[in-house]
Amino acid sequence: MNPAAIRIETPRLILRPTAPEDFESWAAFMADADASKFVGGPQLRPVAWRGFLSMAGAWAIQGYAMFSVIEKSSGRWVGRLGPWVPEGWPGKEVSWGLVRSAWGKGYATEGATAAIDWAFDTLGWSEVIHCIAPDNTPSQAVAQRLGSRPLRTTNLPPPFESMIVDVWGQTREEWHTHRARVAS
């Protein structure tokens, strides 16, 4: 699978691999204390650069990573979401993080739905999780809309071992049942 050829379109979004032109928006997102609160916290530009290259490297080495989320109506980068499985992670995750101006528009649910479909159908995953901080009620609401449920509480692996998260998730079968129920 050639990552450069991957492009998923939803009614309002384009999901595609990380590209060089995404960095300025990525760095601004990671510098915003509110927007980055649940994705590692605010980062200085050089640290954001390393995270940005880690995402691009995951695409190059694994063939998947979180997608850059592009708003169709404006063409602007509004976040990152999708499959993410760092070393030692508690499972195969579909995660999301959006810039503040994209909050409350349903983009996380819309994009994560497409990313979960892709993870199950293209990557062949049998389960998907979402690691959500106990006080991140907006992401808990997204997980619920996606049909996920709380599975367990755990610590993330180093260097985030002090972070306790609730692991939400569902199996491929549960996802297909949820998708059929939502579509009818």
Are 55 and 69 contacting, i.e. CB atoms less than 8 angstroms apart? Answer: no
Question: What value does the CA radius of gyration of the chain take, rounded to a whole number of Å?
Answer: 15
Measured CA to CA, the distance from residue 22 to residue 14 in angstroms comes to 13
Alpha carbon dihedral 20, 23, 25, 26, in 10-degree steps, equals: 120
Total count of domains within the chain? 1
* Domain coverage including residue 163: 3-183
Measured CA to CA, the distance from residue 19 to residue 60 in angstroms comes to 12
CB contact set of 142 (below 8 Å; sequence gap of 6+) = 96, 108, 109, 112, 130
- Structure-token match 């755990």, residue found: 154
**Would you state the pLDDT for residue 180?**
87
- Structure-token match 């892709």, residue found: 118
**Would you state the pLDDT for residue 80?**
98
**Would you state the pLDDT for residue 160?**
85
**Would you state the pLDDT for residue 1?**
67
**Would you state the pLDDT for residue 26?**
97
Query: Residue 84's domain is classified under what CATH number?
Result: 3.40.630.30
Measured CA to CA, the distance from residue 76 to residue 73 in angstroms comes to 8
113-149 pLDDT, tens per residue? 999 999 999 999 999 999 999 999 999 999 999 999 9
Alpha carbon dihedral 173, 174, 178, 179, in 10-degree steps, equals: -30
With a cut of 50, list the residues of the chain below it in pLDDT.
none
Measured CA to CA, the distance from residue 42 to residue 57 in angstroms comes to 21
